[in-house]
Amino acid sequence: MKKLIYTATLTLTLASLIPAAYATEIGKTTHLIHSNAHTLNSRIPNATHHFELYIAGKSLSELAIDLPEGISVTGGIKVTDQSGRKLETTVALEDKTAKVAFAQPVASGTILSIEINGVNISSMYRGRTFHYPIRAKINGFTVDIPIGTARIQTYD
């Protein structure tokens, strides 16, 4: 009976350590905080799709945002930090991908707020959930690193 109690105690202790270790790793990598649309109604033109990134680890020099099918962007992309200060960027729209290059690398610990302005949704795609895959060029790496996918829910 004692062996069973010791085994169960050891198993539960080890199982409780796994989520704690995983949670500490999440804070060490660049990741999405949240995403949203302003306005959620897909019939209203020139909406803003917005998401936030937490930069962790190494600094970041560029973002690549894949635009979903049925979306057109006419108002550009604005990037600010957690204090609301607009960051100097160069934005290029190339074949359904928006590339955002930063004038200065974005330091670890920064929260970036990315606003995709002037979003218009084709009538075939109204009322859908849109997914924006995001990749980053991180200093010290030669390839784009996938960060995550911003999910924007709209309704018709």
Fold for the domain defined by 29-153: Immunoglobulin-like (2.60.40)
The tens-digit pLDDT sequence of the chain (156 residues) is: 667 676 766 566 656 655 544 444 445 788 999 999 888 888 888 999 999 999 998 999 999 999 999 999 999 999 999 999 999 999 998 889 999 999 999 999 999 999 999 999 988 888 889 999 999 998 888 889 999 999 999 888
Write down the domain spans for the chain: 29-153
Residue 124 and residue 143: Cα distance in Å, rounded? 35
Distances (CA, A) of 114 to 2, 42, 48, 140, 143: 57, 19, 10, 23, 22
Residue given tokens 């990741």 in the structure block: 31
Report pTM. Answer: 0.78
* Residue 33 neighbours by CB distance under 10 Å: 12
Residue given tokens 């200065």 in the structure block: 104
Beta bridge partners of 72: 120
